[in-house]
Chain A
């Protein structure tokens, strides 16, 4: 009997320990972001004291935020999707070509249709890749690698030149600035300039909130964790593993479509060079945010702070005067390395407890 109670006690302890570990990763990420930003405010000052600096980070990375959220979903189920960056590029290019044609009067259309096109492209990639990964049981890396190649080639097939959009309603949408209440700074002339965000940021934050709720409180969200944690036991619990994996990829594809359109909104143009390496930034943000690539562990809130940390460190490096592009990459690499080591230590501790 005593053995039995011991086992039970052990189980309880383990559960609590693993929970704190997951939270620990999140807390580390948030702490790192806050410390980094405070250091920037205290020591760099150049613009970091203004609230607009923070919102500029959001403006520039709205697309990356959505891409990372989609990536987090797939990574929680234990997969990976490296095609998102090139899908973003493809979405930008297709929408740009479409809107320019509308502008030139070749075809009828409006901004809303271009949004549908973006979502359609994202969904198509998600469905095909999800089907291949979930139902035909291919390696996610290889399938999405082929997706990456395909999107990359399609982008240049659609158009190999850079296209700037001059379609009036769309440009208006691009330039729309939403003022943030109560925040702003006083400029040299002593006039109060309110801080602003672009439309894309609001959409991105809405996606973050939606996906956060999905993962936290819906059956599907909990299924993602179950499938990522242990395929077979999820199956035994009566979860449709294949469908869950499929849906994760579809959602990730949809996120790639949305993220692509947000990138398009920010850049106002289409180019084969858009969003180069965005998939690696998205994976890096998810990892920094505490998502384990082995699956089963992750958090959208963490991803949000992962994106913020990543982009803050990039901004800090640029404002330190190290303008040469290589310093940014090296710091991002070092940061990724540190976070991976922390994760690995935490995981090792967890395994030792077992």
Chain B
């Protein structure tokens, strides 16, 4: 104790630095900083934000930064649910992309029946009903996944493989595989801009979701319970927590997150393509959780880190898109290289090695000091 204390006092700056490096938020923030610096050097105008009139005539903010924050909305909302599921069940849900398709299809099924010139009040009512229904539907699918994981003890990745295979087909089945596009401009408000407000609506929805989850974690025992279930399910059962219900609950929460994403997704384009909508988003969401330094095997989690991780992933995607010579479909190769590098840096193995090296150096120093004192 005394040794470390003196060490700290001697090199307090070093100690603080070490503390920062050890922090879970360090990796995602460092990655974000790296991307920001990279973009600043290659293109100083990258972060310009301008207020200009959109195609509909109202003033909107535009710029790369706004695009990133706007497009990351779905990923951030998904990362919230995915972090909880990862923490409690020690596995990931790979069906979120397919369930987004189902949720979006449900919304369109309700909205398409209405004429485009109905009054505002009635339209709002329809939107609310369709949204609630899509929340119920995807929460039910979440509960299905959760039940398989909690009650039948199937690994999450395998249990969700079922919906991963069948989900997009179910989405197509809901609407009879029709190509639907909603002509009403007001439907697009939730995925684009509300006239008069220069900030994209998905940003507000994301902020609301973040506030809600922060309040829930603050007021309830959800964080403690899901972490303890993730660390050791049987001992938390002995302590009076019902692990099955907690696991089910996290999957239902993810289902609700998915519903919000699906709603935003279909609102962005006012239409749906069953096989393409939210393609590969499950991979991005899992990467966001991993990038946040959360243990994918369950247990302790840090939601802030996951959210920052989601923004980093979107930042990376946009940065890569900026290079015009990169084909949009070959982007994943570059993404993979970056992701592998990030994971290697943040892996516990490398960190342990790093710490070992540091400890050795410290020990050598201490020995040298002892030698000096003896002299």
Does the CB pair B157–A141 fall under 8 Å? yes
Inter-chain CA distance A7–B303, complex, in Å, is: 48
Inter-chain CA distance A153–B332, complex, in Å, is: 5
For A91-132 the 0/1 string (1 means CB < 8 A from B) is 000000000000000000000000000000000000000001
- Beyond the given pairs A145-B287, A146-B339, A344-B153, 20 more chain A to chain B contacts, judged by CB atoms under 8 angstroms and listed by A's residue number, are A137-B349, A142-B343, A146-B336, A150-B333, A152-B329, A154-B330, A156-B327, A156-B330, A160-B329, A160-B330, A280-B164, A284-B165, A293-B157, A293-B158, A324-B177, A326-B170, A327-B169, A333-B169, A334-B166, A345-B152
Inter-chain CA distance A332–B170, complex, in Å, is: 12
Which secondary structure dominates chain A's binding surface? helix
B337 interface contact, C-beta 8 A: yes
* Residue in B157, B177, B296, B335 whose CB lies within 8 Å of A149: B335
Kindly report which residue of chain B lies nearest to residue A145, judged by CB atoms: B283
25 example contacts (A-B, Cβ-Cβ < 8 A) are as follows A139-B296, A141-B157, A143-B343, A148-B336, A149-B336, A150-B336, A150-B337, A150-B340, A152-B332, A153-B330, A153-B332, A154-B330, A157-B330, A280-B161, A284-B161, A287-B161, A325-B169, A326-B169, A326-B172, A330-B170, A333-B166, A333-B169, A344-B153, A344-B154, A348-B152
Stretch at the interface among A172-180, A212-220, A224-232, A335-343: A335-343
Does the CB pair A293–B169 fall under 8 Å? no
| A-side contacts of B170, CB under 8 Å | 326, 330
B300 interface contact, C-beta 8 A: no
Given contacts A340-B158, A348-B153, contact A153 B169 (CB under 8 A): no
Inter-chain CA distance A347–B158, complex, in Å, is: 15
Say which size band chain A's interface belongs to: 35 or more
Does the CB pair A136–B344 fall under 8 Å? yes
A318 interface contact, C-beta 8 A: no
Q: Closest Cβ of chain B: how far from A113's Cβ, in Å?
A: 24
* Chain B interface residues (CB < 8 Å from chain A): 92, 148, 152-155, 157-159, 161-170, 172-173, 177, 283, 286-287, 290, 296-297, 327, 329-337, 339-340, 343-344, 347-350
Does the CB pair B327–A157 fall under 8 Å? yes
Q: Closest Cβ of chain B: how far from A227's Cβ, in Å?
A: 18
| A-side contacts of B349, CB under 8 Å | 136-138
* Residue in B153, B167, B329 whose CB lies within 8 Å of A153: B329
Inter-chain CA distance A36–B353, complex, in Å, is: 54
Given contacts A142-B296, A149-B335, contact A336 B165 (CB under 8 A): yes
Q: Closest Cβ of chain B: how far from A244's Cβ, in Å?
A: 18
**Residue in B165, B166, B331, B348 with the greatest tally of chain A CB atoms within 10 Å:** B165
A278 interface contact, C-beta 8 A: no
| A-side contacts of B166, CB under 8 Å | 329-330, 332-334
Q: Closest Cβ of chain B: how far from A274's Cβ, in Å?
A: 14
Does the CB pair A287–B158 fall under 8 Å? yes
Does the CB pair B340–A146 fall under 8 Å? yes
9 closest residue pairs by CB, A with B: A153-B333, A333-B166, A326-B169, A149-B336, A150-B336, A329-B169, A344-B152, A153-B332, A149-B332
| B-side contacts of A154, CB under 8 Å | 330, 333
Inter-chain CA distance A329–B171, complex, in Å, is: 11
A294 interface contact, C-beta 8 A: yes
| B-side contacts of A284, CB under 8 Å | 161, 165
Does the CB pair B339–A149 fall under 8 Å? yes
Does the CB pair A153–B296 fall under 8 Å? no
| B-side contacts of A65, CB under 8 Å | none
A251 interface contact, C-beta 8 A: no
Q: Closest Cβ of chain B: how far from A292's Cβ, in Å?
A: 9
Q: Closest Cβ of chain A: how far from B306's Cβ, in Å?
A: 14
Does the CB pair B331–A153 fall under 8 Å? yes
Inter-chain CA distance A326–B178, complex, in Å, is: 13
Kindly report which residue of chain B lies nearest to residue A137, judged by CB atoms: B349
Given contacts A325-B169, A326-B177, A341-B152, contact A149 B297 (CB under 8 A): no
Inter-chain CA distance A329–B168, complex, in Å, is: 8
A248 interface contact, C-beta 8 A: no
Q: Closest Cβ of chain A: how far from B282's Cβ, in Å?
A: 10
A80 interface contact, C-beta 8 A: yes
| B-side contacts of A280, CB under 8 Å | 161, 164-165
Does the CB pair B286–A145 fall under 8 Å? yes
Does the CB pair A153–B152 fall under 8 Å? no
| B-side contacts of A347, CB under 8 Å | 153
Q: Closest Cβ of chain B: how far from A142's Cβ, in Å?
A: 6
| A-side contacts of B157, CB under 8 Å | 80, 141, 293
Q: Closest Cβ of chain B: how far from A350's Cβ, in Å?
A: 11
| A-side contacts of B348, CB under 8 Å | 137
Does the CB pair B163–A333 fall under 8 Å? yes
